[in-house]
Structure formats: C-alpha cells, structure tokens
Structure 1
Amino acid sequence: MFTQTSKPRLRDRVLRSPLVDLLTGPHGVDRYTELVEPTWTLGDSRARVVAVRRQTTRSVTLTLEPNAAFRAEPAFRAGQHINLSVEVDGRRLTRCYSPANAENDAYIELTVGLHDGGAVSQHLYRNARPGMVVGLEGVGGEFVLPANRPRRILFVSGGSGITPVLSMVRTLIAEGYTGEIAFVHYARTATEACYRDELAALPGVRVLHGYTRSDDAANLVGRFGPEHLAAAMPDPEAVFVCGPPELVDAVRAHCPAASSESFVPPVFTVPAEASGGRVAFADSGVDVVDDGRSLLEQAEAAGLSPESGCRMGICHTCTRRKTSGAVKNLITGAVSTTDGEDVQICVTAPIGDVEIAL
C-alpha cells in the first residue's frame, strides 16, 4: 500500500475545498493543477511511468506510480485488468491490460505485448519512457482468485496472457501461501518468453516452459495436452488459464472447471443481411444506412471518432446510450429493444432503426 505524507493529504484537502472549486470554475481544479503536475488530479485517474523495461523483442514492461484519484477507486484484485489511455497522433486511445504485480503493491506493473498494427502497443514499445504520464480508468474483470484459496493450483498462460496469472502467483507468495503451485507458460520461442528470470526465482513454484516454434530449452514439447498436465500437476484442485483461445480451449478440454480469460478478439457473427435501417448518431447529426457491422465500425466509417478501447466488449470504454431501437450483441446473440439503455457499440449491431447518443 502507498504511504501518504501529511503534505499530499493537506494538498488534497485544499484542492477539494468548495472555495477552490468555485475559483477554478467552470473547468474545475484538475485543469489547472495538471499544468503544474499532470498527476495532481482529483477526478482523473492517472499514473506516471517510473521504469521501462523491454524484456523481449516483442514486449515492453512499464512500472506505474498511480495518483490519489486511482487509489481512491476500488482496490485491484490479482487477475483483473486496468484500462490504460494514451494519446497517439492526437487521438486518445484506451486499451485494457492485466497488471502482473501482486495485490496491494505500491506500483502497477504492466507488460504490453507488441502487436502488428496495434496503435497503442506500438506506441508504448517505441516511446514509453520514465516520466511519461498515462491515463488509468479503473479495474474490472471476474478472473480472480477465490477467497478460499485452493491447496493445489495449476496456472497456465500463453504469450502476454502471463500477466494476470503471474499476478495471482505473486499475490499467493506475498500472502505466505503454503499450498502447491505449478506454472506452465507457452511462448513462440525462448527469446519471446516474458518473465523467464522472474519465474525461475519464484519460491516453491514448479515452472515449466513450452515453445511452439522451437524446442530449444523447452521443458514441454508441443501444445497443451494430457502429457503436459501430468508433467505439471496431475489432478489439480484449481486451474487458471489465460492466453490465446486455442490454449484456453485445450486446457478446458482436459480441465473443464478451469477459470479462463482470453484477450484475443472473438469472432463476431455478423448478420447475413443488413437490416437496412436508419442509424442515427444523434449528437453528431449523422445518419447512415445499417450495413450489418457493429455500431462502432459504422460510426468510424461515417467519419466519427468515438472513444473506444479493447474492441471486444471488455473495457466498456465505448459504452454509449441507445435512446431508441433494437440492437443485437454480436458475441452472445442477445437482442434488446429497451429504449434508454447503455450499450457497448464495439460489439453491438443495429436491427432496423436505431438512435445512439454519439
């Protein structure tokens, strides 16, 4: 946990006073304090980058010091994700990342995998440096450890999916956990495997590596199956897996009760025929004819730039108010006709005439 001195507490009390709020209206105190120090904000959660490490040729690890506004939000739990915002070419972009640090750590550790064509990952890999300030927008996700810790736990990860499960392992170690832990991590090659040194140093954890494009230095050959499960931990009491859908499916095939998460965008089922209805982006005064794609894609095709993040229905950054009409969730297939409801436009398609506050 952070230790706050009397000086920051006094500063925060002064900044929250009604008099200061009145004097700084209509913009609010944050718009003035951020000119002095970008993280001195009461309403905006932000963090300063205090360390940057490029562990592999395809990843960058950031150590972040969050401000008081972020620390005032609900506490982060191991396995959850955080929405991180940066400005790229004049646009504010948001993506969700799972911290790799243990719960209650003073700093947040994010490892961002480099994606071809990924605007945020490319920007951070090339430009992240100590002193850089990023936006933070709370925590979310149900991929967490149970309150009653199992006694035999198997963790499986692939690629950048290592971060939430590493956070769980580090949390257990910090708690003084005395049960059995096995950790299996898959990467394309040994040089692309994040946290190799950290995994090797974990006390009391059986660590096995599998490399899908090279057998050099691998403990496991091939992809996850019965042999890998037997080598890591036969009959685990609990299994947590995060990585590409193929890995998650393979683990769940042999461990049906496994808790899982994947940050790879799902394949959306787009209607075979567009409804041809009128999609009205009311705030912008723009109307389009429905072409069957998500509301986010149709808005962007119409020249609008709505804020968005994960583009897969996880981070909720793109949530907008649907004032009227029927829509379909492209992941679940659920149809809603309720007026005046919030929808995630990245995974929502219109059915007939729809009006969105955008």
Structure 2
Amino acid sequence: MVGLLDLVQTLTTPHPLDRYLELVNPALTARELRAEVTHVSHATPGSVTLTLRASRQWRGHRAGQYVQIGVSINGVRHTRCYSPIDPETKGDRFLQLTVKAHPGGLVSNYLHDNAKPGLVVDLAPAAGVFELPSPRPARVLLISGGSGITPVLSMLRTLDAEGFAGDVTFLHYARDFAAVPHRAELTAIANRRPNFRVEYRYPVEPGTIVNGEPSKGSGFFDRAELDQVAPWFADAQTFVCGPGPMMRAVKAIFEAEGHGDRVHSEEFTLTTVPTDPSEATGEVTYSGSGVTADNTGATILEQAEAAGLTPEYGCRMGICFSCTATKLSGCTRNVRTGELDAEPDKQIQICVNAPVGDVDIAI
C-alpha cells in the first residue's frame, strides 16, 4: 500500500496527492493527519469545546500530552498547541479540545467565534513528556489553574476510566465559579469515586459564598493548602499546569520539603529572561529569503515576521519543535534560560532564541 501511494505521489507532482484530494473533500487525506470538527459547545463563557474526528493516521494520545492544530485564517495557515481532555486512547479517532479564547489570541478567538461542524483542521500526532507514567503511581495530585486544566483533566478522566484505586486529589484554581469548564463531569467523577477528591479555589476571602457555598482556602497555593487537600503529598506524584506564579509556588514548596523530583509540570506561558532592546546590536540575515534587518532584540521568529517573512511555527513557547531552522553563523541567546550558543550550522528553535549581534539564519 505504501509503495502504491509513493507511485501515485510521483505521478501527481509537483503537488502532493493530498493537495488534490482536499479539492474533492478537505477531510480526505492519503498521508497527512487531519481532523473534522463534529460538535461545538460553548458551555463555559469564553471557552469552546471541539469534538474532532481524526483521519485514519491518528494513533491516539497519552494523558497529558498535547496536539498541534492548524487552521487557515484569511488565507494564512496558523498553528497552535492544545491538550486533549479525553481519557488516554490508542485507537479511538475522536478527541476533544477545550480552547480558552485569550485576549489577542488569533487562533483561540478564531476557533471560539467561527468553529462549526464540518470545519477541517490540520492535526499533528500527540507529543510532549507531561504525561501519566506507566505503571500508575500509588497516589496522584493534580493541580491546575485557568486554561491549564486541560492536560490534568485528561489525566483525571484516564484514572477514572481505568478504575484507579489509589488516592487522587484534583485542585483547580479559577477566576470564578463560572470559569471552571466541565464542572458537572468533575462533580460526577468525585461522586462515584470515593478515593477521588475534587477541590476548587477562587481569589476571594475564605468563607465568601461562591455559588451557594463558602469558599475554601485563600485562592493562592501555599503549604497550608497542600496539607489540607493532600496530606499524603510526600508519597504522591504531582502534576501541575497553569499560570507561572502558581506553578513556581508549587515547585518552591515541594523543593523546600525535599520532594522537588515528584513534581511534573507543563507551561503554557513562556517565561523569558529579560532583555533590553536598546542593547541589541548587529543584523539578522535570512539567507533563504535574501532579507537582512537590524537586530531588535526580539526572538528570531518575531523579527522574521516583522521583516515580512512567514516561517513555520506552532506553540511559540519552545514546546512543539515545529519552528526549527538552521543557524548558519552567529550567536543566539535562549530567552527562557539565558544560555548563549555560537555553534555554526546548528538547528535552533526560532521562537525561543534571540540574536546576539550578527546572525545568519536559513529562513
């Protein structure tokens, strides 16, 4: 079958076979992985949940992993990374994504406002190392904030589907009661699993009535909160995803207790080492396009876009590795770690590397 596809691919050059198939039906594909939206829900204000039916190339995902979605907006293809909220699967071609429409978020707002059944999107295989280990730990603590709920929700649903017998606490921080997606399902899981504990925290004074019940905790993670919801945390594996300050607070407490190796995290916001644009020097040469521009101090991806180029990218946070390009010469600086790299002819991620002086990049 593969040999036949290779033959057809050769006969249809200069375009790949999938370019012709999509003229007949955008969901048809011989090699490329795509998905069709089959259902759209706006149950939570500011968010949209999409049910997708993937093409036959889909191989499922592990709980906590992410996928890359590609959509065409005004004729330009844009890609972003989102975590499926489904239980871990291998053969099921359906998956669900809950997307928070962030202010200024091009793809998230497009999906929130325009996604309808029949929309076909590009889909990349599931990836990422933030996942439930196998075999499962004896105890699991899940902590999330805001849109970081999606990968840990997949973990919780997986443990529920497997009939996990150990202790599980799911602690979620949200702006308010209405901002918690899939709350009815979370409640149902907690009700049928006596060993599962589901807790919510809001930024209000303890005891404030929220949806008819007094709030618990301060709405900010601290050691007292940890002792209250998971007194067995030292024996657990902890998975955390959400805003940077919350994640740093969790890690700091666990490290202070000597349990830093038990914390696993996924970041959906890029924490960068500060840089002063006034200190940027040199020029950036984009050899593949014949363009040269002054170095502004921003990442190579941002500078390339400002120069009118359209390099491929995905998450813009250094997670998905879809924006790699060859640095031919010069020194770059990783904006997450501050690490410098002057090795020539090296593949780098242009979304998290900035030029230091003159740099030649094959874009």
Residue 134 of structure 1 is matched in structure 2 by 121
- In the TM superposition, what whole-angstrom CA distance separates every residue of 1:89-129 from its partner, at most 9, and x where no partner exists? 22111111111111114311111111111111110010011
User: What pairs up with 1:98-109 in 2 under 5 angstroms?
Assistant: 98-104=83-89, 105-109=92-96
User: What pairs up with 1:45-84 in 2 under 5 angstroms?
Assistant: 45-71=33-59, 75-84=60-69
How many Å separate the matches in 2 of 1:321 and 1:35? 34
User: What pairs up with 1:126-275 in 2 under 5 angstroms?
Assistant: 126-202=113-189, 203-204=192-193, 205-212=196-203, 215=208, 216-217=210-211, 219-222=215-218, 223-236=220-233, 237-256=236-255, 257=260, 258-270=263-275, 274-275=279-280
Question: Does the 8 Å contact 1:316/1:344 carry over to 2?
Answer: yes
- In the TM superposition, what whole-angstrom CA distance separates every residue of 1:20-78 from its partner, at most 9, and x where no partner exists? 2333222121111112222222332111011111121110011111112333xxx5211
Secondary structure at the aligned position of 2:148 is classed as helix
Question: Does the 8 Å contact 1:76/1:139 carry over to 2?
Answer: yes
Moved more, 212-221 or 240-249: 212-221
Amino acid at match of 1:220: K
**Structure 1 34/230 Cα, relative in aligned 2: closer, same or farther at 3 Å?**
same
Amino acid at match of 2:251: R
Amino acid at match of 1:244: P
Q: Percent identity?
A: 45
**Structure 1 24/54 Cα, relative in aligned 2: closer, same or farther at 3 Å?**
same
Amino acid at match of 1:322: K
Moved more, 301-310 or 327-336: 301-310
Asked if residue 36 in structure 1 is aligned to residue 28 in structure 2, the reply is: no
Secondary structure at the aligned position of 2:97 is classed as strand
**Structure 1 34/14 Cα, relative in aligned 2: closer, same or farther at 3 Å?**
farther
Alpha carbon RMSD of aligned pairs, Å?
Answer: 2.0
Moved over 3 A (4+): 13-19, 271-275
Query: Shift of residue 211 of structure 1?
Result: 1.6
Question: Does the 8 Å contact 2:102/2:108 carry over to 1?
Answer: yes
Query: Shift of residue 271 of structure 1?
Result: 5.1
Question: Does the 8 Å contact 1:154/1:183 carry over to 2?
Answer: yes
Question: Does the 8 Å contact 2:37/2:118 carry over to 1?
Answer: yes
Secondary structure at the aligned position of 2:62 is classed as coil
Residue 3 of structure 1 is matched in structure 2 by none
How many Å separate the matches in 1 of 2:224 and 2:200? 13
**Structure 1 241/287 Cα, relative in aligned 2: closer, same or farther at 3 Å?**
same
Amino acid at match of 2:32: D
Query: Shift of residue 250 of structure 1?
Result: 2.0
Question: Does the 8 Å contact 1:14/1:20 carry over to 2?
Answer: no
Question: Does the 8 Å contact 1:208/1:219 carry over to 2?
Answer: no
Gaps of 5+ in 2: none
**Structure 1 314/18 Cα, relative in aligned 2: closer, same or farther at 3 Å?**
closer
**Structure 1 195/15 Cα, relative in aligned 2: closer, same or farther at 3 Å?**
farther
Query: Shift of residue 143 of structure 1?
Result: 1.1
Residue 95 of structure 1 is matched in structure 2 by 80
**Structure 1 219/155 Cα, relative in aligned 2: closer, same or farther at 3 Å?**
farther
Question: Does the 8 Å contact 1:220/1:228 carry over to 2?
Answer: no
Secondary structure at the aligned position of 1:241 is classed as strand
Aligned pairs, how many? 343
Query: Shift of residue 219 of structure 1?
Result: 4.7
Question: Does the 8 Å contact 2:284/2:360 carry over to 1?
Answer: yes
- In the TM superposition, what whole-angstrom CA distance separates every residue of 1:214-267 from its partner, at most 9, and x where no partner exists? 841365232222332233221221211111111112222333332122201213
Secondary structure at the aligned position of 1:352 is classed as strand
Residue 301 of structure 1 is matched in structure 2 by 306
How many Å separate the matches in 2 of 1:254 and 1:352? 39
Asked if residue 20 in structure 1 is aligned to residue 5 in structure 2, the reply is: no
Question: Does the 8 Å contact 1:45/1:70 carry over to 2?
Answer: yes
**Structure 1 351/253 Cα, relative in aligned 2: closer, same or farther at 3 Å?**
closer
Moved more, 16-25 or 123-132: 16-25
Question: Does the 8 Å contact 2:204/2:215 carry over to 1?
Answer: no
How many Å separate the matches in 2 of 1:174 and 1:259? 22
Secondary structure at the aligned position of 1:194 is classed as coil
Question: Does the 8 Å contact 2:69/2:124 carry over to 1?
Answer: yes
Tell me the TM-score normalized by structure 2: 0.88
Tell me the TM-score normalized by structure 1: 0.90
How many Å separate the matches in 2 of 1:350 and 1:171? 43
How many Å separate the matches in 2 of 1:153 and 1:219? 24
Amino acid at match of 1:58: G
